Amino acid sequence: MKKIILALLLLCFACKSTSLLTPSQHVYAKPVDTTTKPISNQNKTIYKLSGIGVRNDFPSARLNGFVQENDSTYIASIWPENFPINPSPWFAFKLWSEEEKEVHIKLDYSNGARHRYAPKLSSNGETWTLLDSTKVKKSPDGTTATLQVKVSTDTLWVAAQEIQDHRRVGEWTQKMAQNSNVTKASAGKSALGRELYHLNITNGAYENKPTVIIISRQHPPEVTGFLCMKSFVETIIDEGSKNGFLDKYRIMVYPLMNPDGVDLGHYRHNTGGVDLNRDWSQYHQPEIKQVTSHMVRETATHKNDVVLGLDFHSTYKDVYYTPDERIERKIPDFTKAWLEKIRIAVGLEDINESPGMNERPTSSAWFNRQFGATGITYEIGDDTPRDFIKVKGVESARAMMQLLLAE
């Protein structure tokens, strides 16, 4: 009998220990079906029409068809990976001509989507300029947008936003890992086998340190949020050792949550045809399942108390989606104080805050449900000036460090 009781106690202990290392399934007022759905992959190819060439056979490209309308106008079909979908029509392709001339490229969404992103041009895929707005003509209903561009034998990159694909993000993480207080690791693999990058940032051991978790790029086109996240993280790395922040805190960063969607040029979803920022409950998608498991396992193993979770996104304007004041969390006064510090530092008259009750299975709600932490979705506008994005990232990081050091 004693042996049976002992065995049962050991089994209960093992179950409890295992549960502490895996994310919980949380119940939300507004659940979302995140089971895998079929997607349509674009045909990666090169089109050649009347001396004009265009291609989509590179990471982050999106071009579903290319036909000639008249002597100077070509129609580029831009379709999403599946339906229904939040229409954020991403486009990216390379263009050239046998002779130098001006052409019109009509972006045809023809699927209920409306033109969203101001086109960017590049000669090398690294340095980007905004196409003059006078050279972009939208149809009255916004379902098409015609770009007037000069082409030559040199390749012209055309994209909705600056391309930050899996390789480029990986190069950034490798650069960050050259700092003595940064360790590069992996949180797992995407559905198609791409690495889910992870950075650990702290001075010394991880054990018993309160922790901040930072994620980005659940939605592939949301590059401005990623750019702000980069500036935010770089500031923590650069200044956190000097001001003592990294002696006290651990920072866990997951900069590219949806690498397959990014490299496949998706509007919003992963290869499972799902919005990853709705899967923080049932964990149907491999990317969310692996990253949340990694977060829970790491923080439990090293006895880290997660106090803040930040998810960087992009939308039409800068906004902070914050927890309603009625939601309990470990540092209840942090949000208002942080936003006010940011407002003053970047010279804003007002700051755009949108509180919510965490009713859907999003990352910000999950940070609160899983850890009791403050979860904030940090949105940067599509057209926010890039120099201001950098300033905002820097000042946001400084304000966060000042407040958390005072705790």
pLDDT in tens, 89-103: 999 999 999 999 999
Q: Is the pLDDT of residue 249 over 90?
A: yes
How many residues in total does the chain contain?
A: 407
Crossing angle of helices 386-405 and 223-239, rounded to 10°: 50
Answer whether residue 17 shows pLDDT above 90: no
**120-149 per-position pLDDT tens digit:** 999 999 999 999 999 999 999 999 999 999
d(CA 101, CA 73): 12
- Mean of pLDDT over the chain: 95
Q: Scanning the structure block, which residue is given the tokens 């990471």?
A: 59
The reported pLDDT for the residue numbered 82 is 97
Distance CA 196, CA 187 (A): 5
DSSP conformational letter for 244: S
How far apart CA 239 and CA 216 sit, in angstroms, is: 21
Candidates 116, 109, 237, 255; CA nearest to 176 is 237
What is the spatial distance between Cα 151 and Cα 77, in angstroms, rounded to a whole number? 19
Over residues 160-218, the pLDDT tens digits come to 999 999 999 999 999 999 999 999 999 999 999 999 999 999 999 999 999 999 999 99
pLDDT for 11 beyond 60 = no
Range 266-281 average pLDDT: 98
DSSP assignment letter at 152: -
Q: Verify cis geometry, omega within 30 degrees of 0, for the bond prior to 84.
A: yes
> What pTM value is reported for the model?
0.95
Looking at residue 334, the DSSP 8-state letter turns out to be H
Residue 16 pLDDT exceeds 90: no
Percent of the chain scoring above 70 in pLDDT: 95
Residue found by looking up tokens 């999003």 in the block: 362
| Model confidence pLDDT, tens digit, residues 336-373 | 999 999 999 999 999 999 999 999 999 999 999 999 99
202 is written with which tokens? 């702290």
Span 225-242, average pLDDT: 98
At 118 the pLDDT is 98
> Domains in the chain, please, with CATH?
46-159 (2.60.40.3120), 164-405 (3.40.630.10)
pLDDT at residue number 111? 79
pLDDT at 3 (0 to 100): 52
Residue 270's nearest CA partner among 219, 194, 197 is: 219
Distances (CA, A) of 207 to 249, 290, 299, 367, 377: 10, 22, 9, 20, 27
Which pLDDT score is estimated for 19?
A: 58
Residue with tokens 């950075």: 199
Query: Do 166 and 139 form a contact (C-beta atoms < 8 A)?
Result: no
Q: Which residues partner with 200 through β-bridges?
A: 183, 252
pLDDT at 13 over 70: no
Q: What's the one-letter identity of residue 169?
A: V
Distance from C-alpha of 133 to C-alpha of 201, rounded to nearest angstrom: 41
So what's the pLDDT on residue 112?
81
Q: How far apart are CA 380 and CA 386, in angstroms?
A: 10
Which tens digits make up the pLDDT trace of 19-64?
578 999 999 999 999 999 999 999 999 999 999 999 999 999 999 9
Region 285-307: mean pLDDT is 98
% of the chain residues with pLDDT over 90:
94
- Coil/strand/helix, residue 108: strand
**Segments of 117-224 assigned E as strands:** 120-122, 128-130, 136-138, 144-151, 156-159, 182-189, 195-201, 211-216
What distance in Å separates the CA atoms of residue 87 and residue 268, rounded to the nearest whole number? 8
